[in-house]
Amino acid sequence: MDKKISEVLEKKVNPVLAEHYGGAILSKYEDGVAWVKLTGSCCACPSAQMTVEDVVKQIVMEECDFVEDVKLDNSVSDDLLDMARKLLNKE
């Protein structure tokens, strides 16, 4: 299921988001919900939530009948947090 969702994001969603210098990746699929992270310019866009609801969700749910919902994953990666801690601690 993860592979199918990732393929849909790559082939159908990312070309649309690329017009705005962004993209989307699957962070996890759990309990019928596809959690998607936006990349590039889309990740910092104030309209990121609307993009997921209006564009990404529609495409993914049309192509993947097993997906019940698509939600924005706006979590910060552990790697990025570790790097920030090192910079703040001047390591």
pLDDT at 75: 82
Q: Is the pTM of this model over 0.85?
A: no
Q: What is the mean pLDDT of residues 66-73?
A: 96
Q: What is the mean pLDDT of the chain?
A: 91
* pLDDT tier for residue 86 given thresholds of 50, 70 and 90: confident
> Residue 9: its pLDDT value, please?
97
Q: What is the pLDDT of residues 2-42, one digit of tens each?
A: 999 999 999 999 999 999 999 999 999 999 999 999 988 88
Nearest-angstrom CA–CA distance, 60 and 7: 10
Coil, strand, or helix at residue 12? Answer: helix
